[in-house]
A and B are shown apart, each in its own frame.
Chain A
Amino acid sequence: MAEPDEVNGRQRELFIRKSTRVAASYLKRAKALSEMPDAAKPFFDVLENVYIRLTDVQKPEDMKSIGTLCVMVPAELVYAAGAMPVRLCSGSYTAYSVGDDYIPRDACPLVKAVMGFGKMKVLPAFDNCTLLVAPVTCDCKKKLAGVVDSVKNTVPLQVPPLKREDADTEVFLKELYRLIPILEKETGRQVTAKSLAEGINMVGNAQYEMSEFLKYRRHVPALMSGTQILSVMNAYSYMPVKMWAKQMHRLNEEMKLRLVQENFVSRKNQPRILVTGSPIAFPNIKIPLLIEEMGGVFAADETCMGERGLYDPVSVIDPSFDGMMRALASRYTKPCTCPVFVDNSQRIYRIKQMIRENNIQGVIYHVLRGCLVYDYEYQLMEEAMGKMDIPIIRVESDYNEEDVEQLRIRIEAFIELIKLKEYAAVHERQ
């Protein structure tokens, strides 16, 4: 009988082979969708380095990595403490299947993937994080924070369930203040007004580049494939913000050129689709890929691994330390459209706004199995879309490839439906 270490070694080998193969295949498919801008290549390189070459995130040697589990952890604060935030929400199917042994069956796959990487210790981007900040948002993340501490030093970050009143933001503010000494202890650097302002500026700069980029994304016909755009946004999790913003600036320049040269990647009449719901984390990009492979344009997304993560900049009114902290607490709760909040009607307004701005013709509502909070909001969304006469479908999926063909048929039918609807509308106008 094989020794436990030997089994473990073989398991690791198998794990690495499978996980890198899946990541490589998705990356290849994403690249092949349409002519990729040259400036997008560094983002793809980052994903390749993290998930295929299994190297650590690219950062200065003396800079520590702090793992985060969702967009509710202020990156500005981590940068102010002299560390780099690495968002560990992963879409790895292989890590998910490992995590399945440690996390209850009905928990969401994202949480299982996090646990899977924690147990396997094959992903340097994960393993080199000296601390994990886990926001207590949904039930799965809440309980994960209590379980994942067996593999990684974890700090739960409490998020209030309400966000309307100032007192609720105050709760989050206190949590952020509580986080500061923990980060300082970890990095050995103090969070000062100056470093915090720098952190806010750095992230703000990235958000500015993002907002510029979104202007190009809205263009009809599309200038770049939506799946490639999502990959660019996913790369934000593993890149120092300054580097990401710099590359994004280059990408914006190239998009500008593409616009001038009318170098489009879609036709004018291709159905434009918005994806909302559970996060789409690399390498689980099967839904955007299917949309584009079936002839749709993945024109916008309202997910936390996509546009939502970099949507609102921190708006500092009072430049004192406390003023900046308040601005952070406010930015990470008030405009957040995560369904963990009791009243999240804002999300519907945001999606309506996105539909108008992006000329959206159909909405795909993505629900990861076990992600109940998003499922709860589907009915409201369905009603709102009905009033706007925008077709919507709910697509439930998991971290495996077994449902791909089923999803393909549904997405293809959905795209056909939008085309027919548009055809009928044009016919009526004529």
Chain B
Amino acid sequence: MSDLSDCKKEIADVLKRLLKTMPAYKEVQFFMECVINHYLTGREKNNSDIVVIGSNIPEELVLVEDRMPYWILGGSRVSSMWADDILPRDTDPVSRSGLGYILSGFAGNSLILIPLVSDSTRKLAFILKARGLKVHTLHFPPVKDAQSLLEWRRQYALCRDAVALHLKRPLSKRALQKSREQVLAAKRQIQDFMEVSRDTLGGTGRMFILGSYYCADHLSEWSFQLDCLTEKLRKGHKRQTSEKSKVLLLGSPVYFPNYKVPFLIEEAGLELFWQADYTTLSMQGYTGLEQMREEHEADIFYRNDTSPAYVKNNSLYERIEKLLKEKEIDGVVYHVLKGQIEYDFELGRFEELFEKLDIPVFRLETDYNYQDIEQLRIRLEAFSEVLNQRRYGRFGKETVAV
């Protein structure tokens, strides 16, 4: 049987480390509590109507009257061990963690929504169904074309109907539009936060605040608190980080509490400048109301989706190309979680892009265990040296942090 105390300890350890890197603002408290409630109290209460495994779902479908679903992103090392006996050895830790979490006795009466982005998500859906849980899957046609768009709309409608049936209330167009606007407002807020927090918060801290989105109970409250924090940061002191080499974290998503990689990046003297996995990009993917009016409600999500569910992940490629044009990035850490083969396939194309732009890229493969941490530290430190040397060459000795 799963031991919650290990889970609590894992979360407490990460929060303690995070607190040291965050400014002591009372506005941060809300986000801390949000995460604690989600992983500990919320889990124990076990009263969510809708559970989503993964993040890749149009949020308006699961945001019911401002109430967020229970998101299981799969970042816990402890819960990943709970599924050890059921899953094949080579399963990725995110799927392990997600399944472990559910099988520890969670979500018995909930509707579990599973976006099918990989083989593991398909098989997870079956395992849960076979155990008598109520599961609905959402398929992403792997080639984005006009025909796929129609199929995607069907998938969207099926998901909407499944949610409505489970909640026993219709999800009207108006209700969906209202939720969509709420999500939009939150995303606008997130963009503002990202701009302001760059000079005031560390990369891991920013990642944590963003990640707490998936722990919130009520979206409007979370948005309001983010607004308060952004205002506070706007007025606050700026950090002295300009001398550090700025890295972009790409590849497999990093989910709380597995902050091993971001912690290591910062400990190696690098600035975690931007995180660009599909979860984070979807949170920052701001779509104007104009576009929303012009397109079919379901299309926006599919068009912009950067998950690895596609034969060619052009959306991600274009987003990264744009990001590299807009932001000054010194290096890229390409994070591959063991078993997430899709990201490894996508690396080749990105390597060509980075080579063209003369940006060094560092492939970092790991899982949720800590055995490889010293090895990764050494490699990251060496990468940091390389980036600093390059900065030295570019800007002169005085701008380089020693």
**B311 and A161 within 8 A (CB):** no
Contacts of A167 in B (CB 8 A): 154
Bound complex: CA of A102 vs CA of B126, how far in Å? Answer: 32
**A340 and B147 within 8 A (CB):** no
When C-beta atoms are compared, the residue in chain A nearest to B116 turns out to be A161
Contacts of B345 in A (CB 8 A): 103-104, 107, 143-144, 146-147
**A372 and B151 within 8 A (CB):** no
**A106 and B151 within 8 A (CB):** no
Contacts of A156 in B (CB 8 A): 142-143, 311
Distance (whole angstroms) from the CB of A375 to the closest CB of chain B: 4
A407 close to chain B: CB less than 8 A: no
B122 close to chain A: CB less than 8 A: yes
B148 close to chain A: CB less than 8 A: yes
Of residues 57 to 115 in A, which have CB atoms within 8 Å of B's CB atoms?
102-107
Contacts of A143 in B (CB 8 A): 308, 311, 341-342, 345-346
Contacts of A144 in B (CB 8 A): 345
**A376 and B123 within 8 A (CB):** yes
The 0/1 profile, CB within 8 Å of B marked 1, for residues 128-163 of chain A is 000000001011101111110000000010101110
A216 close to chain B: CB less than 8 A: no
Of residues 335 to 352 in B, which have CB atoms within 8 Å of A's CB atoms?
338-339, 341-342, 344-348
B125 close to chain A: CB less than 8 A: yes
B312 close to chain A: CB less than 8 A: yes
A344 close to chain B: CB less than 8 A: yes
**A376 and B147 within 8 A (CB):** no
Contacts of A174 in B (CB 8 A): 147, 151
Contacts of B119 in A (CB 8 A): 138-139, 340, 372-373, 376
Bound complex: CA of A158 vs CA of B311, how far in Å? Answer: 10
When C-beta atoms are compared, the residue in chain A nearest to B343 turns out to be A104
Interface centre among A103, A178, A373, A376 (most CB of B within 10 A): A376
B303 close to chain A: CB less than 8 A: no
A269 close to chain B: CB less than 8 A: no
Contacts of A15 in B (CB 8 A): none
Distance (whole angstroms) from the CB of B147 to the closest CB of chain A: 6
Interface residues of B, Cβ cutoff 8 Å to A: 86-91, 116, 118-120, 122-123, 125-127, 129-130, 137, 139, 141-143, 147-148, 151, 154, 308, 310-312, 338-339, 341-342, 344-348
Further contacts, 19 of them, CB under 8 A, given A107-B345, A372-B120: A104-B341, A104-B345, A104-B347, A107-B341, A136-B143, A140-B341, A142-B342, A146-B310, A146-B345, A161-B116, A162-B139, A175-B147, A342-B122, A342-B126, A343-B126, A370-B341, A372-B90, A375-B88, A375-B89
The 6 closest A-B pairs by CB, nearest first: A104-B344, A375-B88, A143-B345, A376-B123, A146-B312, A146-B311
